[in-house]
Amino acid sequence: MGIALAALPLLSQSDPEGFRIEITASALRTGVEGAVQAGTLPIDLHSDLNLSDRFTFFGKLVLKPARKHAVVIEGAPFSFEGRQILSRSITFNGRTYSISDEVRSRADLAYFFGGYQYDFLSGRQGHLGVQLGGAYLSASGIIQGVTSVITTTRNQTIGIPLMGLDARVFPVAGRSLCSISGDVKGMALGSHGHHVQCGVHAGIGVRWIRVQAGFAVIDADIHESGAAPVSGINPKITGPIFSLQFRR
Protein backbone atom coordinates (compact mmCIF):
# COMPACT_ATOMS: atom_id res chain seq x y z
CA MET A 1 0.00 0.00 0.00
CA GLY A 2 2.82 2.39 0.93
CA ILE A 3 4.60 1.64 -2.36
CA ALA A 4 1.45 2.42 -4.34
CA LEU A 5 0.94 5.78 -2.58
CA ALA A 6 4.58 6.71 -3.11
CA ALA A 7 4.22 6.00 -6.82
CA LEU A 8 1.35 8.47 -7.32
CA PRO A 9 3.58 11.56 -7.67
CA LEU A 10 5.77 9.69 -10.15
CA LEU A 11 2.75 8.75 -12.23
CA SER A 12 1.55 12.34 -12.31
CA GLN A 13 5.01 13.47 -13.42
CA SER A 14 5.17 10.96 -16.30
CA ASP A 15 1.63 11.84 -17.45
CA PRO A 16 0.64 15.38 -16.36
CA GLU A 17 -2.86 14.95 -17.85
CA GLY A 18 -3.50 11.66 -16.06
CA PHE A 19 -5.24 13.21 -13.03
CA ARG A 20 -8.74 12.60 -11.69
CA ILE A 21 -9.41 15.80 -9.77
CA GLU A 22 -8.04 19.33 -10.09
CA ILE A 23 -8.86 22.18 -7.72
CA THR A 24 -7.79 25.75 -8.49
CA ALA A 25 -8.16 28.57 -5.96
CA SER A 26 -7.39 31.98 -7.44
CA ALA A 27 -7.12 35.60 -6.34
CA LEU A 28 -8.13 37.95 -9.14
CA ARG A 29 -7.04 41.57 -8.81
CA THR A 30 -10.04 43.15 -10.46
CA GLY A 31 -10.36 46.48 -12.16
CA VAL A 32 -13.79 47.38 -13.54
CA GLU A 33 -15.01 49.55 -16.40
CA GLY A 34 -18.41 49.92 -18.02
CA ALA A 35 -21.70 51.55 -17.06
CA VAL A 36 -24.92 51.08 -15.13
CA GLN A 37 -28.11 52.57 -16.51
CA ALA A 38 -31.52 52.93 -14.90
CA GLY A 39 -32.92 55.77 -16.97
CA THR A 40 -31.90 58.08 -19.78
CA LEU A 41 -28.41 58.77 -18.41
CA PRO A 42 -25.77 55.99 -18.22
CA ILE A 43 -23.38 56.20 -15.25
CA ASP A 44 -19.76 55.25 -15.92
CA LEU A 45 -18.50 52.75 -13.35
CA HIS A 46 -14.93 54.08 -13.46
CA SER A 47 -14.92 57.84 -14.07
CA ASP A 48 -18.27 58.69 -12.46
CA LEU A 49 -18.36 56.24 -9.55
CA ASN A 50 -14.66 55.64 -8.86
CA LEU A 51 -15.20 51.95 -8.09
CA SER A 52 -12.13 50.63 -6.29
CA ASP A 53 -9.98 47.73 -7.44
CA ARG A 54 -9.84 44.73 -5.14
CA PHE A 55 -8.92 41.05 -4.92
CA THR A 56 -11.76 38.61 -5.63
CA PHE A 57 -11.84 34.86 -5.12
CA PHE A 58 -12.26 32.72 -8.24
CA GLY A 59 -12.63 28.96 -7.82
CA LYS A 60 -12.54 26.08 -10.32
CA LEU A 61 -13.08 22.32 -9.95
CA VAL A 62 -12.33 19.77 -12.70
CA LEU A 63 -13.41 16.13 -12.33
CA LYS A 64 -12.13 13.63 -14.91
CA PRO A 65 -13.96 10.28 -14.94
CA ALA A 66 -12.06 9.34 -18.13
CA ARG A 67 -9.01 10.51 -20.05
CA LYS A 68 -10.75 12.89 -22.46
CA HIS A 69 -13.88 13.67 -20.46
CA ALA A 70 -14.28 16.19 -17.64
CA VAL A 71 -16.89 17.98 -15.56
CA VAL A 72 -16.01 21.64 -14.96
CA ILE A 73 -17.45 23.84 -12.20
CA GLU A 74 -16.31 27.40 -11.52
CA GLY A 75 -17.56 30.63 -10.02
CA ALA A 76 -16.80 33.98 -8.44
CA PRO A 77 -18.61 36.70 -6.46
CA PHE A 78 -17.50 40.07 -7.85
CA SER A 79 -18.22 43.15 -5.78
CA PHE A 80 -17.10 46.78 -6.16
CA GLU A 81 -17.72 49.87 -4.04
CA GLY A 82 -16.97 53.51 -4.68
CA ARG A 83 -17.44 57.05 -3.42
CA GLN A 84 -17.11 60.06 -5.69
CA ILE A 85 -18.03 63.72 -6.10
CA LEU A 86 -20.10 63.57 -9.29
CA SER A 87 -20.12 66.79 -11.33
CA ARG A 88 -21.51 66.95 -14.83
CA SER A 89 -23.84 68.94 -17.02
CA ILE A 90 -26.84 67.59 -18.89
CA THR A 91 -29.00 69.21 -21.53
CA PHE A 92 -32.75 68.74 -21.50
CA ASN A 93 -35.28 70.51 -23.72
CA GLY A 94 -32.67 72.98 -24.96
CA ARG A 95 -31.47 74.04 -21.50
CA THR A 96 -28.31 72.97 -19.63
CA TYR A 97 -28.44 71.93 -15.99
CA SER A 98 -25.49 71.29 -13.66
CA ILE A 99 -25.49 68.41 -11.19
CA SER A 100 -23.08 68.17 -8.26
CA ASP A 101 -23.47 65.56 -5.54
CA GLU A 102 -21.41 63.07 -3.59
CA VAL A 103 -22.47 59.54 -4.51
CA ARG A 104 -21.94 56.15 -2.93
CA SER A 105 -22.11 53.20 -5.28
CA ARG A 106 -21.87 49.44 -5.44
CA ALA A 107 -21.78 47.03 -8.36
CA ASP A 108 -22.07 43.24 -7.97
CA LEU A 109 -21.78 40.38 -10.42
CA ALA A 110 -22.28 36.79 -9.24
CA TYR A 111 -21.01 34.21 -11.74
CA PHE A 112 -21.38 30.40 -11.69
CA PHE A 113 -20.61 27.96 -14.49
CA GLY A 114 -21.11 24.21 -14.78
CA GLY A 115 -20.36 22.20 -17.88
CA TYR A 116 -18.77 19.31 -19.74
CA GLN A 117 -15.36 19.32 -21.41
CA TYR A 118 -14.16 16.97 -24.13
CA ASP A 119 -10.44 16.97 -24.93
CA PHE A 120 -10.10 16.00 -28.57
CA LEU A 121 -6.32 16.26 -28.05
CA SER A 122 -4.81 14.82 -24.86
CA GLY A 123 -1.28 13.60 -24.26
CA ARG A 124 1.82 13.89 -22.11
CA GLN A 125 2.38 17.46 -23.34
CA GLY A 126 -1.08 18.79 -22.58
CA HIS A 127 -4.60 18.98 -23.96
CA LEU A 128 -6.95 20.94 -26.21
CA GLY A 129 -10.65 20.63 -25.53
CA VAL A 130 -14.07 22.15 -26.04
CA GLN A 131 -16.42 23.16 -23.22
CA LEU A 132 -20.22 23.22 -23.27
CA GLY A 133 -22.29 24.28 -20.31
CA GLY A 134 -24.51 26.82 -18.66
CA ALA A 135 -23.83 29.92 -16.58
CA TYR A 136 -25.81 31.81 -13.99
CA LEU A 137 -25.24 35.57 -13.96
CA SER A 138 -26.73 37.96 -11.43
CA ALA A 139 -25.82 41.63 -11.75
CA SER A 140 -26.87 44.62 -9.68
CA GLY A 141 -25.97 48.28 -9.41
CA ILE A 142 -26.78 50.72 -6.62
CA ILE A 143 -26.15 54.49 -6.69
CA GLN A 144 -27.04 56.75 -3.76
CA GLY A 145 -26.66 60.52 -3.58
CA VAL A 146 -25.35 61.61 -0.15
CA THR A 147 -26.80 65.11 -0.43
CA SER A 148 -29.90 64.44 -2.51
CA VAL A 149 -30.66 61.11 -0.80
CA ILE A 150 -31.76 59.77 -4.17
CA THR A 151 -31.15 56.04 -4.59
CA THR A 152 -31.27 54.10 -7.84
CA THR A 153 -31.05 50.31 -7.98
CA ARG A 154 -31.05 47.93 -10.91
CA ASN A 155 -30.95 44.13 -10.81
CA GLN A 156 -30.73 41.62 -13.62
CA THR A 157 -30.46 37.83 -13.40
CA ILE A 158 -30.11 35.47 -16.33
CA GLY A 159 -29.12 31.90 -17.12
CA ILE A 160 -27.26 31.40 -20.40
CA PRO A 161 -25.49 28.65 -22.35
CA LEU A 162 -21.74 29.05 -22.79
CA MET A 163 -19.25 27.33 -25.05
CA GLY A 164 -15.53 27.70 -25.60
CA LEU A 165 -12.05 26.20 -25.71
CA ASP A 166 -9.61 25.14 -23.00
CA ALA A 167 -5.93 24.33 -23.58
CA ARG A 168 -2.77 23.54 -21.64
CA VAL A 169 0.79 22.83 -22.77
CA PHE A 170 3.68 21.26 -20.86
CA PRO A 171 6.79 22.31 -22.81
CA VAL A 172 8.77 19.29 -21.59
CA ALA A 173 6.96 16.07 -22.54
CA GLY A 174 5.94 14.01 -19.54
CA ARG A 175 7.09 16.63 -17.02
CA SER A 176 4.66 18.89 -15.19
CA LEU A 177 7.27 21.34 -13.90
CA CYS A 178 6.27 24.14 -16.29
CA SER A 179 2.93 24.78 -17.96
CA ILE A 180 1.15 27.37 -20.11
CA SER A 181 -2.66 27.32 -20.23
CA GLY A 182 -5.51 29.38 -21.57
CA ASP A 183 -9.27 29.34 -21.98
CA VAL A 184 -12.01 31.34 -23.66
CA LYS A 185 -15.78 30.97 -23.61
CA GLY A 186 -18.83 33.10 -24.17
CA MET A 187 -22.20 33.53 -25.82
CA ALA A 188 -24.23 36.27 -27.47
CA LEU A 189 -27.42 36.84 -25.48
CA GLY A 190 -29.42 38.43 -28.28
CA SER A 191 -31.47 41.34 -26.98
CA HIS A 192 -30.10 40.77 -23.44
CA GLY A 193 -26.45 41.50 -24.34
CA HIS A 194 -23.47 39.12 -24.19
CA HIS A 195 -20.96 37.37 -21.92
CA VAL A 196 -17.31 36.67 -22.81
CA GLN A 197 -14.45 35.57 -20.57
CA CYS A 198 -10.88 34.46 -21.19
CA GLY A 199 -7.61 33.95 -19.38
CA VAL A 200 -4.00 32.93 -19.86
CA HIS A 201 -1.77 31.40 -17.17
CA ALA A 202 1.84 30.28 -16.68
CA GLY A 203 2.62 27.83 -13.91
CA ILE A 204 5.35 25.99 -12.04
CA GLY A 205 4.47 22.71 -10.35
CA VAL A 206 6.05 20.10 -8.12
CA ARG A 207 4.25 16.76 -7.91
CA TRP A 208 0.60 17.47 -7.06
CA ILE A 209 0.77 21.22 -6.42
CA ARG A 210 1.17 24.12 -8.85
CA VAL A 211 1.52 27.90 -8.57
CA GLN A 212 0.21 30.01 -11.47
CA ALA A 213 0.11 33.64 -12.53
CA GLY A 214 -1.72 35.16 -15.45
CA PHE A 215 -4.33 37.63 -16.68
CA ALA A 216 -8.12 37.32 -16.91
CA VAL A 217 -10.90 39.23 -18.67
CA ILE A 218 -14.66 39.04 -18.08
CA ASP A 219 -16.87 41.17 -20.32
CA ALA A 220 -20.55 41.02 -19.40
CA ASP A 221 -23.49 43.01 -20.74
CA ILE A 222 -26.80 42.27 -19.03
CA HIS A 223 -29.79 44.47 -19.75
CA GLU A 224 -33.53 44.36 -20.16
CA SER A 225 -34.97 43.25 -23.46
CA GLY A 226 -37.07 45.76 -25.35
CA ALA A 227 -36.76 48.48 -22.73
CA ALA A 228 -36.57 52.13 -23.85
CA PRO A 229 -34.24 53.41 -22.61
CA VAL A 230 -32.24 50.23 -22.01
CA SER A 231 -31.68 49.54 -18.30
CA GLY A 232 -28.97 47.23 -17.02
CA ILE A 233 -25.28 46.90 -16.22
CA ASN A 234 -22.30 46.11 -18.44
CA PRO A 235 -19.11 45.68 -16.41
CA LYS A 236 -15.79 44.74 -17.99
CA ILE A 237 -13.57 43.14 -15.37
CA THR A 238 -9.84 42.73 -16.05
CA GLY A 239 -6.76 42.07 -13.97
CA PRO A 240 -3.87 39.79 -13.01
CA ILE A 241 -4.79 36.45 -11.47
CA PHE A 242 -2.73 34.33 -9.05
CA SER A 243 -3.62 30.70 -8.44
CA LEU A 244 -2.79 27.70 -6.29
CA GLN A 245 -3.69 24.39 -7.96
CA PHE A 246 -4.00 20.89 -6.48
CA ARG A 247 -4.18 17.77 -8.68
CA ARG A 248 -4.50 14.05 -7.93
Residues 42-78 pLDDT 10s = 677 777 677 778 899 999 999 999 999 999 999 999 8
Domain that holds residue 13: 2-247
* Number of domains, the chain: 1
Question: What is the predicted pLDDT for the residue at 39?
Answer: 56
pLDDT, tens digit (0-9, with 9 covering 90-100), for 18-27: 899 999 999 9
Q: How confident is the model at residue 225 (pLDDT cuts 50, 70, 90)?
A: low
Confidence of residue 198 (pLDDT cuts 50, 70, 90): very high
Backbone phi and psi for residue 56, each to the nearest 5 degrees, phi listed first: -125, 140
Give the CATH number for residue 125. Answer: 2.40.128.90
- Write phi, then psi, for 67 (nearest 5 degrees): -55, -50
For the residues of 22-91, what is the DSSP string, one character each?
Answer: EEEEEEEEEEEE-EEESSSS-EETTTTT-BPPEEEEEEEEEEEEETTEEEEEEEEEEEEEEEEEEEEEEE
pLDDT above 80 for 171: yes
Residue-averaged pLDDT of the chain: 81
pLDDT band at 151 (very low <50, low <70, confident <90, very high): confident
Cα 113 to Cα 115: distance, rounded to the nearest angstrom? 7
Instruction: Give tens-digit pLDDT for 63-116.
Output: 999 999 999 999 999 888 887 776 765 444 454 445 677 777 777 888 999 999
Contact criterion met (CB below 8 Å) for 134 and 161: yes
